[in-house]
Amino acid sequence: MLNAAADDVTDWFGAEDTGTRDAVNLIVNVVAERLKGSAKEINEIIEEGYDATPDEVYDWCRS
């Protein structure tokens, strides 16, 4: 549900496949962890859920 909402919003304003869309998807993943009661740091969420390092995800979001 969160991912679908994120896609709806980023599609609505025509976000590219990187940059803003990556940042919104990261927010969704962090929110999903928080809803489970998790206090994991963002780097830990990335390391467990992405096939990339936190630095790589940071670069994606900034592109």
Give residue-wise pLDDT tens across range 19-45.
999 999 999 999 999 999 999 999 999
Confidence class for position 61, pLDDT limits 50, 70, 90: very high
Rounded Cα–Cα distance for residues 55 and 6 (Å)? 22
DSSP H or E run through 11: helix 2-12
pLDDT of residue 17: 87
Judge whether 62 and 43 are in contact, CB under 8 Å. Answer: no
pLDDT of residue 50: 97
Rounded Cα–Cα distance for residues 49 and 28 (Å)? 12
The overall average pLDDT reported for the chain is: 95
Structure tokens at 53: 């390092």
pLDDT of residue 15: 92
- Our count of domains for the chain comes to 1
The domain of 10 spans: 2-62
Whether the pLDDT of residue 58 is over 90: the answer is yes
DSSP H or E run through 41: none
